[in-house]
Structure 1
Amino acid sequence: MVIYKIVAADEWREAEAAGVFAGAAIDRADGFIHFSTAGQAPETAAKWFAGREDLTLAAVDAEALGADLRWEPSRGGALFPHLYSALPMSAVVWSRPLRLGPNGRHVFGSLEA
């Protein structure tokens, strides 16, 4: 299964250089790295990243994260993937810029591995 991380592009470049992503400020404050499923990602972008053009979308192999990945209730009781460790770049399937469309919403395209 693939899960997704929306993150500021500059933070992602730093993580790629380091070989590991320790989380954005909100992740570190909450004690885990927030992820979304393919179905949850557009709503996450609209709620937390509306209008931002400086984003990267990363696809991550959930199985590669092992027991540190937990599915916990969040918005409306839906289960969201939360990682209780740093994200190794070896678990990243792909990453790409997350652009805004002409309607001001982020364009996700195909969310497949």
Structure 2
Amino acid sequence: MLIYKIVPAALWRAAKEAGAFAGAPVDLADGYIHFSTGAQARETAAKHFAGQADLLLVAVEADELGPELRWEPSRGGALFPHLYGQLPVAAARSVRPLGLGPDGAHLFPEDVA
């Protein structure tokens, strides 16, 4: 199952240089990297990244992250994937731009559901 991380492009560029993504400021503050399932990603973008440009959508295979990935309750009790550790850049299955539409909402690829 693919899970997704919405990342500012500048942070992903720095992660590529380092070989791993340690997290965005909110991840570092919470002690884990926040991910969303495909079904959760749009709401995550609207709630936490509204109107922000220059974002990337990083897809990762959940099963490959091992025991450091935990499914924990969050919004409304839904289980969200949280990674307690760094994300190796090589684990990214895809990294795609997450542009903004004319209404200011993020434009997700059709295969993210």
| TM-score, reference length from structure 1 | 0.96
Q: What amino acid is aligned across from residue 74 of structure 1 in structure 2?
A: S
Q: Report the Cα distance in structure 1 between the residues aligned to 2:85 and 2:47, rounded to whole angstroms.
A: 24
Partner of 2:58: 58
Measure how far apart 1:19 and its partner are: 1.1
Q: What amino acid is aligned across from residue 75 of structure 1 in structure 2?
A: R
Q: What amino acid is aligned across from residue 8 of structure 2 in structure 1?
A: A
Measure how far apart 1:90 and its partner are: 2.0
The DSSP-based 3-state class of the residue aligned with 1:53 is coil
The DSSP-based 3-state class of the residue aligned with 1:39 is helix
The DSSP-based 3-state class of the residue aligned with 2:38 is coil
Q: Report the Cα distance in structure 1 between the residues aligned to 2:111 and 2:8, rounded to whole angstroms.
A: 19
Q: Does 1:86 align with 2:80?
A: no
Q: Report the Cα distance in structure 2 between the residues aligned to 1:17 and 1:110, rounded to whole angstroms.
A: 29
List per-residue Cα deviations over 1:20-47 (Å, max 9, x = no partner): 0000010010000000000000000000
Q: How many residues align?
A: 112
The DSSP-based 3-state class of the residue aligned with 1:71 is strand
Q: Report the Cα distance in structure 2 between the residues aligned to 1:108 and 1:41, rounded to whole angstroms.
A: 9
Q: Report the Cα distance in structure 1 between the residues aligned to 2:53 and 2:11, rounded to whole angstroms.
A: 14
Q: What amino acid is aligned across from residue 59 of structure 1 in structure 2?
A: A
Measure how far apart 1:96 and its partner are: 1.2
Consecutive unaligned residues in structure 2, runs of 5 or more: none
Q: What amino acid is aligned across from residue 15 of structure 1 in structure 2?
A: A
Q: Report the Cα distance in structure 2 between the residues aligned to 1:110 and 1:60, rounded to whole angstroms.
A: 17
RMSD value, Cα = 0.9
The DSSP-based 3-state class of the residue aligned with 2:15 is helix
- Give the % identical residues: 63
Q: What amino acid is aligned across from residue 26 of structure 1 in structure 2?
A: V
Partner of 1:30: 30
